[in-house]
């Protein structure tokens, strides 16, 4: 028994001890004790295996608890009842899990309370939305009921046409050599200046179309080509454009050193022949000369390139005005192939880039159509000689460089004045209808008409006769051969006497 006790003592483990209580439980007999010892050994062996397995599982559990604790685990760690050594740690883990569980419960309760509040707020908002919409509809209905359709007010301010401002400016200078500077009328300036407003009203009364002596030339509403409804506004805008896009009046003296006015005259006289050769319309010729003068006003050109500039400008004008414009090769051929096709196209690029493709320029021909229409308003039968003679006199000014100082509208009005005087000296060539539609008085035309009569009579002996030969043909009624028996200066003297006698009458207000 002692040996067995010694062997049993050798196999003891610190966790399995045979105490007196256990020994009493096993009994006092040796057989019972031996069997109990054997039973105990087997239990010890099983306990060793179990302890080794539990130790490994405890390590795994410890690592798992640590990782789960970092991940905010939501369940409590189960206590390992069989592991006596880790009892304290299990208790601590249990307490921690209980604390986390309590926090989660509190969080869930708070979330439920907040959700309830949100549900209540949402229900209140959903109930308030239809009430707000009903209020907005009621307010909108009230506002719409208060609104009334306002009737359009008729303007009470007088409308002053732009060309009449030109007359007032020209009246101040009393000379056609000094070109007026035209500014668009400003309504705010007129309202701030009552004196100016009164003057404009007085001028409108004097030149109003309600005057019985003025014939309404825009009364033909049946002809769509006449543009009767838009003609006054169109010509008012044209009067502004003629100043904005006019060439310089002194570019020969200021810029050009290799070109003279006589060279320019020779070029224009040759272009008249070219236009007749290709049967171009008069508007093409006028636009060609305008493009030449505008380009020479700001670009230095050598005399070897002057003819190239002339044919290039006619090519551009033909493309703008003609239905079937001549080809580039035809303009090269007309110059006896002095310039190649590439040179013409290169010059065309330069001219178009310089003018910024602004080819809608009011020329003398533009104003001449309307002024001839106004001149024939008093005739029962249209006078063809008057139209052809006015066109002839206007084309004569294209050759002369000195006529650049006159506005195109002034040249057109002077051509009509001189044509009427050439055809009939018994009657004064100017009447209220022409004064109204041209916006020029007789005193404004004196200098231009006298210079134009010198061209008609060729007092300087100019050898450039292309225009004269052109209008000597029978298709133009040979108007180039017509002259007046009396110089036009006498008509101005008679008009000045008539104006002085009219001003002497009481109640007359003359505005210049």
Mind listing the pLDDT tens digit for each residue in 110-165? 554 554 544 444 455 445 555 655 666 677 666 655 554 444 444 444 443 444 44
Cα–Cα distance between 469 and 272 in angstroms, integer? 11
Q: What is the CA radius of gyration of the chain?
A: 56
- Distances in Å between the Cα of 465 and the Cα atoms of 272, 347, 396, 480 are 10, 28, 10, 11
- CATH class, 364-504 region: mainly alpha
So what's the pLDDT on residue 22? 64
So what's the pLDDT on residue 229? 85
Mean pLDDT of 365-386: 92
So what's the pLDDT on residue 82? 42
SS (H, E, C) 443-507: HHHHHHHHHHHHHHHCCCCCCCCHHHHHCCCHHHCCHHHCCCCCCCHHHHHHHHHHHHHHHHCCC
Predicted confidence (pLDDT) at residue 86 exceeds the cutoff of 80? no
So what's the pLDDT on residue 504? 35
Quote the DSSP letter at residue 376.
G
pTM for the structure as a whole: 0.59
Sign of CA dihedral 448, 452, 458, 461: positive
Tell which residue, 264, 237, 259, 238, has the closest CA to residue 403. 264
Reported confidence tier of residue 405, pLDDT bands at 50, 70, 90? very high
Q: CATH 1.10.472.10: which residues of the chain?
A: 251-355, 364-504
Predicted confidence (pLDDT) at residue 47 exceeds the cutoff of 90? no
Place of tokens 């020969």: 252
Let me know if 263 is exposed, middle or buried by CB neighbors in 10 A (0-12, 13-18, 19+): middle
Contacts 24+ apart (CB under 8 A), 232-237: 232/161, 235/163, 235/367, 235/370, 236/161, 236/162, 236/163, 237/162
Which tokens sit at 107?
């969080």
So what's the pLDDT on residue 248? 94
Predicted confidence (pLDDT) at residue 458 exceeds the cutoff of 70? yes
Predicted confidence (pLDDT) at residue 268 exceeds the cutoff of 70? yes
So what's the pLDDT on residue 300? 96
So what's the pLDDT on residue 385? 95
Reported confidence tier of residue 296, pLDDT bands at 50, 70, 90? very high
Residues β-bridged to residue 16: 13
Place of tokens 């190649």: 340
Predicted confidence (pLDDT) at residue 17 exceeds the cutoff of 70? no
Mind listing the pLDDT tens digit for each residue in 308-365? 999 999 999 999 999 999 999 999 999 999 999 999 999 999 999 999 999 999 999 9
402: left (phi over 0), alpha (psi -120 to 50) or beta: alpha
Reported confidence tier of residue 26, pLDDT bands at 50, 70, 90? low
Cα–Cα distance between 494 and 496 in angstroms, integer? 5
**Average pLDDT value for the chain:** 73
Contacts 24+ apart (CB under 8 A), 200-203: 200/158, 200/160, 201/158, 202/509, 202/511, 203/160, 203/164, 203/168, 203/511
Which tokens sit at 22?
């256990």
Least-confidence region, from 439-453, 464-478, 482-496:
482-496
Q: 13 — phi, psi (to 5°)?
A: -115, 150
CATH classification of 251-355, choosing from 1.20.1250.20, 1.10.472.10, 3.40.50.170, 3.30.70.2190? 1.10.472.10
So what's the pLDDT on residue 186? 40
């Amino acid at each position: 028994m002692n040996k067995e006790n010694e062997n049993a003592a050798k196999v003891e483990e610190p966790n399995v001890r045979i105490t007196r209580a256990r020994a009493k439980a096993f009994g006092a007999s040796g057989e019972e004790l031996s069997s109990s010892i054997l039973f105990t050994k087997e239990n010890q062996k099983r306990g060793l295996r179990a302890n080794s397995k539990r130790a490994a599982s405890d390590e795994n559990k410890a690592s798992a608890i640590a990782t789960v604790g970092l991940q905010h685990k939501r369940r409590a760690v189960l206590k390992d009842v069989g592991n006596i050594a880790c009892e304290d740690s299990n208790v601590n883990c249990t307490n921690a899990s209980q604390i986390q569980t309590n926090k989660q419960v509190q969080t869930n309760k708070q979330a439920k309370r907040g959700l309830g509040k949100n549900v209540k707020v949402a229900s209140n908002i959903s109930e308030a939305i239809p009430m707000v919409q009903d209020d907005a509809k009621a307010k909108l209905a009230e506002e719409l009921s208060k609104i009334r359709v306002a009737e359009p007010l008729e303007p009470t301010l007088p409308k002053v046409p732009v060309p009449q401002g030109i007359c007032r400016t020209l009246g101040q200078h009393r000379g056609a050599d000094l070109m007026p500077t035209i500014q668009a009328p400003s309504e705010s300036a007129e309202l701030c200046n009552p004196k100016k407003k009164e003057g404009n009203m007085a001028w409108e009364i004097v030149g109003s179309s309600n005057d019985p002596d003025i014939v309404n030339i825009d009364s033909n509403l049946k002809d769509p080509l006449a543009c009767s409804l838009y003609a006054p506004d169109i010509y008012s805008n044209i009067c502004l454009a003629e100043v904005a896009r006019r060439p310089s009046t002194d570019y020969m003296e200021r810029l050009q050193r290799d070109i003279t006015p006589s060279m320019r005259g020779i070029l224009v006289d040759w272009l008249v022949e070219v236009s007749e050769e290709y049967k171009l319309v008069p508007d093409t010729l006028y636009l060609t000369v305008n493009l030449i003068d505008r380009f020479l006003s700001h670009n230095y050109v050598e005399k070897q390139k002057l003819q190239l500039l002339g044919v290039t400008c006619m090519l551009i004008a033909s493309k703008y005005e003609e239905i079937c414009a001549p080809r580039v090769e035809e303009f090269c051929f007309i110059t006896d192939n002095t310039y190649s096709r590439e040179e013409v196209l290169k010059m065309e690029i330069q001219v178009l880039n310089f003018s910024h493709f602004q080819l809608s320029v009011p020329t003398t021909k533009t104003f001449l159509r309307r002024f001839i229409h106004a001149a024939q308003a008093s005739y029962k039968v249209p006078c063809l000689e008057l139209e052809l003679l006015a066109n002839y006199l206007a084309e004569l000014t294209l050759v002369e460089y000195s006529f650049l100082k006159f506005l195109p509208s002034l040249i057109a009005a002077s051509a009509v004045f001189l044509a009427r005087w050439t055809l009939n000296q018994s009657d004064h060539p100017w009447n209220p209808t022409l004064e109204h539609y041209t916006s020029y008085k007789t005193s404004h035309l004196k200098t231009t008409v006298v210079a134009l009569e010198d061209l008609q009579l060729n007092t300087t002996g100019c050898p450039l006769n292309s225009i004269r030969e052109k209008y000597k043909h029978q298709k133009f009624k040979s108007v180039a051969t017509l002259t007046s028996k009396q110089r036009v200066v006498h008509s101005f003297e008679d008009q000045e006497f008539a104006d002085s006698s009219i001003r002497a009458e009481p109640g007359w207000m003359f505005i210049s």
